[in-house]
Every structure is written in structure tokens, then in C-alpha cells.
Amino acid sequence: MKLNEKILYSPEVAEAILNDRPVIALESTIISHGMPYPQNVETAKNCERIARENGAVPATCAILGGSLCVGLTPDQLEYLGKTGPAVLKASRRDIAVIASRGGDGALTVAGTMILAHMAGIRVFATGGIGGVHRGATETMDISADLEELGRTSVAVVCAGAKSILDIGLTLEYLETKGVPVIGFGTNEMPAFYTRTSGFGVDYRMDDPAEIAAALKAKLELGIAGGTLIVNPVPEKYSMDKAKIDAVIEAAVEKAKTLGVKGKNITPFLLAEIKDVTGGESLDANIALVYNNVRLAAKIASAM
């Protein structure tokens, strides 16, 4: 495969793509907006280590100095972690503007999918995807992640939709967009912090090789669009569903009272949940990300 001249590849990622070795994309919003420093940088470095240990080259994606970067150096990871939320959170609508201004951007799921696709990477590991927000029938607050899954041919491995969302409507939206939802070892859509949600997936697959075969078939048939692979949080870190649901309800009401909206709502709710659960949710978040990177690397290797 040729390299895309619009992408700034790290030497490791460029060599892997040119030699048809397995590569997985990793996002950068989790570094700058998802966790406090230095835990965010430590988590990012561990994700890269886990990818390599499971046979894939990690390609963390971000916009730095206006360049679309696929594969970051340790210094670049450190910069994103230290700068934190001051780095712009970048989705599809933001990429061209940030690049034209020579700015920095931490990429969301949608943004990472775009860079991964441009770079020729087919598998991407993240924590949880965005979705249809509660009350979306009035606010029309629907994450760009879902639209991207409907149009961009990258497989996304995650721990389901964040439980702050309306998971039922999120699945309905994915069905409308023609996005298959594959449960790894589960018949049920996980809800990020918990292994269950009460909503079923389209297909259950228990072997990374089976998932890889389905992804290859979709590519070979020329069927455009992404695939969502949901991987439940490890049982050890799964939180009590009733407890976390109550915390989320309280956080959603607080957000309404304070008038928190748009792209600020998810970071606000996740921060509230972390504070109320005494860090238990952060531990779960880190564990599920590692779990997803491990699975994504195995799928990419099997492809």
C-alpha cells in the first residue's frame, strides 16, 4: 500500500503500512480530554505497548502544528497530556480549519476514523463511542461518531456506547445507517461502565479471526461504511448497573440545571461520574480501553 502524502506518518507506522503489517489506530481525545495528567500519558503509552505485545503497530492520531499525524512520538504524547483540554477537541467539522490554521487538535472517534481511513488503517480501538443523547428528540444532540460509522470504512472496537447516552436510540440510528454491531463474546450491547444494557447486538462472534473474516469480506465486496465491534468491560471492573445509572441520572440533571450543552456535555458528565464514584469509573475506563486495544490488535493481526 502507498503512503498518503497528506498524512504525516511516524517512521514505525509508515514502515508497517508499506510492508503490509498489522496497524491499529488510537485516538488522542482520551489523552487530552479523557483523563488527568500524568495518568493520561501513562495510559496512552500502555495502549501502545499492549498493541505491540498483541502483534500490531499502534498509530495514535492527532493534529499537531497543522499536520495530520498518524503515529506519535513519546514527546508528542507528553505534550497532549500536559496541555490537556486546551488542545481543541476535533471531529470531522474541525479538521480542515485546524489544519489551515496550523493548530493542534485531539481527535474524537469520528476524527480518528477519518485519519485512519486516509492512512489506510482499517481497525481502530477506543474506549466508548458517542451516540444519541438522552432527550435527543428535542435537542437533536446526536454524536458525529454515528454518522462517521455510516460512511467511513474503518472498524471501531469499543466497550459500547457510553452509558450517559440513550443506548436504544443509538442502536436504532446505527441500524438506519447500515452499521453492523458485532458483540465479542456477548449477545448484548455493553454500556461502557457495565457489561449489560438490556439491548441486543446484531451478531455475536467469539473469535477475533471470525471478526477479521467479516471485515475482510465487507472490504472485498466494496460495501462502504464502518463496523462497530463491542467488547464488554472486564468483569473485575464492571460497575453495578443500578448504582451507575443513578449517578448518571443525577449528573444529567445537574448538566441541565447548569446549562451545559453541545460538545461540553460528555466531558462534564464523565467528570461528574468520576467524582461521585471516587475514581472507580476512571479505573473501569482505563481497564476497558486496554481490553479494546488488545482485541483490536488481534483482529488486525488476523486480517
Q: Grid cell 447548569 — which residue?
A: 258
Cβ atoms of 156 and 129 within 8 Å: the answer is yes
**pLDDT reading at 241 higher than 70:** yes
Mean pLDDT along residues 54-64: 98
**pLDDT reading at 178 higher than 90:** yes
**pLDDT reading at 127 higher than 80:** yes
E strand or H helix at 228, and its extent? strand 227-230
Cβ atoms of 60 and 11 within 8 Å: the answer is no
Higher per-residue confidence, 160 vs 269: 160
Q: Grid cell 443500578 — which residue?
A: 242
pLDDT value of residue 281: 79
Kindly state which CATH superfamily the domain 128-303 is placed in. Answer: Indigoidine synthase domain (3.40.1790.10)
What is residue 230's three-state secondary structure? strand
What is residue 104's three-state secondary structure? coil
Question: What are phi and psi for residue 162, nearest 5 degrees?
Answer: -55, 140
In angstroms, rounded to a whole number, what is the distance separating the alpha carbons of residues 18 and 2?
6
pLDDT value of residue 207: 98
Cβ atoms of 164 and 269 within 8 Å: the answer is yes
What does the block give as the cell for 240? 453495578
Give whole-number Cα distances, 268 to 62, 85, 96, 138, 289, in Å.
Answer: 22, 12, 26, 20, 20
Mean pLDDT along residues 284-301: 96
- 27, 48, 272, 280: the catalytic one is 27
Residues of the chain with CATH 3.40.1790.10: 1-121, 128-303
Q: Grid cell 505534550 — which residue?
A: 79
Question: What are phi and psi for residue 246, nearest 5 degrees?
Answer: -65, -40
Give whole-number Cα distances, 89 to 46, 162, 278, in Å.
Answer: 22, 18, 26
pLDDT value of residue 239: 87
102-111, 143-152, 271-280: least confident range: 271-280
Do the strands 67-70 and 57-64 form a parallel or antiparallel pair, or are they unpaired?
antiparallel
Q: Is 27 a catalytic residue?
A: yes
Average pLDDT, the chain: 93
Could you read off the pLDDT of 263-274 as tens digits, one per residue? 677 777 777 777
> How many angstroms separate the most distant Cα atoms in the chain?
54
27-36, 246-255, 292-301: least confident range: 246-255
- 78, 89, 148, 162: the catalytic one is 162
Q: Would the CA dihedral through 204, 209, 215, 219 be positive or negative?
A: negative
Share of the chain above pLDDT 90, in %: 75
Q: Does domain 1-121 have CATH number 3.40.1790.10?
A: yes
Tally of residues, the chain: 303
Residue 296 identity: A
Cβ atoms of 194 and 188 within 8 Å: the answer is no
In angstroms, rounded to a whole number, what is the distance separating the alpha carbons of residues 260 and 193?
22
Could you read off the pLDDT of 77-119 as tens digits, one per residue? 999 999 999 999 999 999 999 999 999 999 999 999 999 999 9
pTM attached to this predicted model: 0.92
> Minimal CA–CA distance to 157: which of 121, 199, 200?
121
pLDDT value of residue 263: 67
In angstroms, rounded to a whole number, what is the distance separating the alpha carbons of residues 65 and 102?
5
Residue 213: count of CB within 10 angstroms of its CB: 15
In angstroms, rounded to a whole number, what is the distance separating the alpha carbons of residues 149 and 27?
15
Q: Is 78 a catalytic residue?
A: no
